[in-house]
Amino acid sequence: MSPRVLILNGPNLNRLGTREPDVYGRTTFADLTALVLGWAADLGLDASVRQTNSESELIEWLHEAADGGADVVLNPAAFTHYSYAVRDACAVVTGAGRRLVEVHLSNPAAREEFRHTSVVSGVATGTIAGFGVDSYRLALAALAGGPQATERGAAAG
């Protein structure tokens, strides 16, 4: 059976393509979904892509990953910077022994001051930011590399 991965996306990412294209590019969320599903299939992963503008829905999905044995690629969008509830739900995922890769299209560290803080990073397995839609491909490749790859990364950090 292929390893399961949930690719979860937070608020406003459904507006990709028209939202601040100078920052996020012209790729729509539908385009992103198709790309991600193609990359996941090539890597032998059983992937689902979801997006929500609701903090509670995102938290339910993280619990589902923890209970259902799925790894997670998470773009928490603006929740990254202030949602302790999303952070705690991410800790449930990694605490259950699943891997969670935080991704961002842009590089928040190179943007406004309020984006320099991620409350999620400290409980994620790792973070990939700044490569546009390729951030998702890199995250999937890290997960497909097997637990050893991310365990080595965690040990180094």
Out of 51, 52, 80, 125, name the contact with ligand DQA by CB under 6 A: 80
Out of 30, 34, 41, 78, name the contact with ligand DQA by CB under 6 A: 78
* DSSP structure string for the chain: -PPEEEEEE-TTGGGTTTSSHHHH-S--HHHHHHHHHHHHHHTT-EEEEEE-S-HHHHHHHHHHHHHHT-EEEEE-GGGGGT-HHHHHHHHHHHHTT--EEEEESS-GGGS-GGGG--SSGGGSSEEEESSTTHHHHHHHHHHHT-HHHHHHHHHH-
Residue 84 is a catalytic residue: no
**36 in contact with ligand DQA (CB under 6 A):** no
Out of 14, 115, 134, 149, name the contact with ligand DQA by CB under 6 A: 115
Q: Would you say 51 or 80 has its CB closer to ligand DQA?
A: 80
Active site residues: 24, 104
Residue ranges binding ligand DQA (CB under 6 A): 12, 75, 77-78, 80, 104-106, 108, 115
